[in-house]
Amino acid sequence: MLLIANVASRNWQDFWIGATLTKVYNDAGMVKIWIWEGLDKIVKYDDWGFNEPSNKGGCAAVKASDGTWFADDCSTTKNYVCSIPVKLDVCDNEWIYFPVTKFCYKVFFHADYNAAESNCVVLGAHLVSIHSKEEDVFVQDISQCGINFGNDGGEATLIGLYEVGSDGTKWNWTDGSPTNYVPWTPPEPNFVSTDKCTSVYADPTNGALTGYWNNMPCSWQMRNYVCKKSPIAVEIK
């Protein structure tokens, strides 16, 4: 009804839709059926008017006055309405879609920074970049696991932030996205000549450190890390 109201407001009398009468051949011979043009799908829903579809033509049109369909000669000039296929963002199996950022995320376990980034790249991803408080909280939520893989701050989660240079003033994300959200808590970042990679304390068991971003040596083995990549756009017809 929204479509009918819209075209009526434009003073259209009628308009083309994508249903066409098509010849189909089978073992019984030739039959004519109405299909949706471009989709090759049989018309299952219809709203034909009285005595329609007639044999006047092989294309379907709609009366703006009441929304009923009628068949007409395909060469007749009319207004028309186009439809655009809907695309849905879909993540690979076991990846989590976050609608705020429209990206996919997955948690993996036990790696140093270089090994983690390499594994993410193999999967078409990068170590996670974070650009807002909402994304920061989301990444911490999915990476909580309550386990510790040992020393060297192994209870933290690797993210994709790394230092450029050695004075602690410039940090980049491995995916090349802007460094527009870096909520360091003083005294971080510190020991910048050696601690050039970044982790987050995600678990509430970390106490006062929960949510804390920590720059650390890239060789340290962290308990887990998060990869991030774009979803697959699936066309829904």
Using the predicted structure, report yes or no on whether residue 31 has a pLDDT greater than 70.
yes
pLDDT at 34: 92
pLDDT at 120: 98
Domain layout of the chain by residue ranges: 2-80, 87-232
* Cα(135)–Cα(211) distance, integer angstroms: 12
Q: Average the pLDDT over 99-118 and give the result.
A: 95
Using the predicted structure, report yes or no on whether residue 175 has a pLDDT greater than 90.
yes
List pLDDT tens digits, range 33-50: 999 887 768 898 899 999
List pLDDT tens digits, range 191-216: 888 889 999 988 887 778 888 999 99
Grade residue 89 by pLDDT with cuts at 50, 70 and 90: confident
Grade residue 1 by pLDDT with cuts at 50, 70 and 90: low
* Cα(174)–Cα(162) distance, integer angstroms: 7
Grade residue 137 by pLDDT with cuts at 50, 70 and 90: very high
Q: Average the pLDDT over 162-186 and give the result.
A: 92
Using the predicted structure, report yes or no on whether residue 113 has a pLDDT greater than 90.
yes
pLDDT at 8: 65
Cα 199 versus chain centre, distance: 25
Using the predicted structure, report yes or no on whether residue 32 has a pLDDT greater than 90.
no
- Annotation: CATH topology of 2-80: Mannose-Binding Protein A; Chain A (3.10.100)
Domains 2-80 and 87-232 share a fold: yes
Q: Average the pLDDT over 154-176 and give the result.
A: 91
Q: Average the pLDDT over 93-111 and give the result.
A: 94
User: 21-30, 73-82, 164-173: which range is least confident on average?
Assistant: 21-30
pLDDT at 233: 86
This prediction has a pTM of 0.65
Grade residue 81 by pLDDT with cuts at 50, 70 and 90: confident
Of 5, 4, 22, the C-alpha closest to 74 is 22
- Annotation: CATH topology of 87-232: Mannose-Binding Protein A; Chain A (3.10.100)
Using the predicted structure, report yes or no on whether residue 153 has a pLDDT greater than 60.
no
The overall average pLDDT reported for the chain is 88
Using the predicted structure, report yes or no on whether residue 25 has a pLDDT greater than 60.
yes
Using the predicted structure, report yes or no on whether residue 70 has a pLDDT greater than 70.
yes
